[in-house]
Amino acid sequence: MKKLIYIFCSLFGILVICYFGIGLYLAYSILRIDHSCGLHQGSTPDNWTTKKNYNEYKIQERKNLRKNFDSTSYHLSKWHNVNFPSRNPKIDISGWLFNFYEDKPIIIIVHGISPNGKCNPEPNLIAGLLIKNQINALTIDLRNYGESSIVSSYENLGLSEYEDVLGAYDYLISNGFKKNQIGLLGISLGSTSVIFAAEKEQEIKAVWAESSLAEFKMILKDEISRYGFPHDFGLAVSIAGRILTGIDPTKLSPAFSLNKNTNYFFTHGKKDQRILPKHFYFLKNYSNENNIKANFWIIPDAYHVDGMFINPEEYGIKMKEFFLKHLN
């Protein structure tokens, strides 16, 4: 009998080790940061292009979109290199400031998950479109990216990075911008940072969220499936993520951080396979049910963050209309 109990306990122990070992592998794979900007390392507002990495995209439509996109119309020749503290004063944030228009709004642009940063095509295109529509812009590197402070090897999913966005907000106020002139724009995972920032500073009146996730359990299942494992590993991934980052990943639910004082604009590609469109519809339903002031735009032929490249002029006009409506 004792031998059977020993065998059972040993097998159970092995299963537990395997379960949490796989959870650790998944959490590491999901959260690990490449501090560089990948193939876009060294790109600047006056020379960025989508042609450096188009071959990385598996879907031919996406390859062609970036291979054939003419970025030169959206290049910017003048900007200021700026640095300022995050709301966590131990962290220094790097940015590019495009301040061309007096008494016009300014938008803080926040990039997505690694490899990424202000050097990527998406933040640069957004900045170019805003300037073209006479709205100022500030693109930033979040902590652990680009020229900002490197304090960790793991992504905190916006749950700490929102402090960097608020550091940018404080910097702009200290340099003469009024609170009602400052809007936020997040791209992919950057959307969580701007939504959490607006939750903390509800005087922020306009937030644009491109391809945002909505809720922790949904994205956890999506990420586990993406690596080919069943959803049963959710608990192990959550615990491992907490160990690696020191934060509670279960708090990653931007939908529940929306506030009634801020105006939101959510846009998403209908063909998005990275952050599935169900997140867009969750945000839409939650906003409607809770009287959140929000606009919604699903782009039929777009994959993940592709909408701005498919029709940049339309994208720029919609940004202009939204931000000028809610910012003074």
Residue boundaries of the structural domains of the chain: 1-31+216-251, 37-215+253-326
70-92 burial: b if 16+ Cβ within 10 Å, else e: ebeebebeebeebebbbbbeebb
Q: Which CATH number fits domain 37-215+253-326: 3.30.379.10, 3.40.50.1820, 2.130.10.10, 1.10.3720.10?
A: 3.40.50.1820
User: What pLDDT does residue 8 have?
Assistant: 65
User: What pLDDT does residue 1 have?
Assistant: 66
Non-local CB neighbours of 176 within 8 Å, separated by 6+ positions? none
Instruction: Give tens-digit pLDDT for 158-215.
Output: 999 999 999 999 999 999 999 999 999 999 999 999 999 999 999 999 999 999 999 9
d(CA 193, CA 33): 16
User: What pLDDT does residue 208 have?
Assistant: 98
User: What pLDDT does residue 279 have?
Assistant: 98
Give the chain as a 3 state SS string.
Answer: CHHHHHHHHHHHHHHHHHHHHHHHHHHHHHHECCCCCHHHCCCCCCCCCCCCCHHHCCCHHHHHHHHCCCHHHHCCCCCEEEEEECCCCCCEEEEEEECCCCCCCEEEEECCCCCCCCCCHHHHHHHHHHHHCCCEEEEEECCCCCCCCCCCCECCCCCCCHHHHHHHHHHHHHCCCCHHHEEEEEECCHHHHHHHHHHHCCCCCEEEEECCCCCHHHHHHHHHHHCCCCHHHHHHHHHHHHHHHCCCHHHCCHHHHCCCCCEEEEEEECCCCCCCHHHHHHHHHHHHHCCCCEEEEEECCCCCCCHHHHCHHHHHHHHHHHHHHHCC
User: What pLDDT does residue 249 have?
Assistant: 86
User: What pLDDT does residue 6 have?
Assistant: 65
- Residues 239/293, Cβ–Cβ less than 8 Å: no
- Residues 128/313, Cβ–Cβ less than 8 Å: no
Low-confidence residues in the chain, pLDDT < 70: 1, 6, 8-9
Interstrand relation of 106-110 and 80-85 (parallel, antiparallel or unpaired): unpaired
User: What pLDDT does residue 251 have?
Assistant: 86
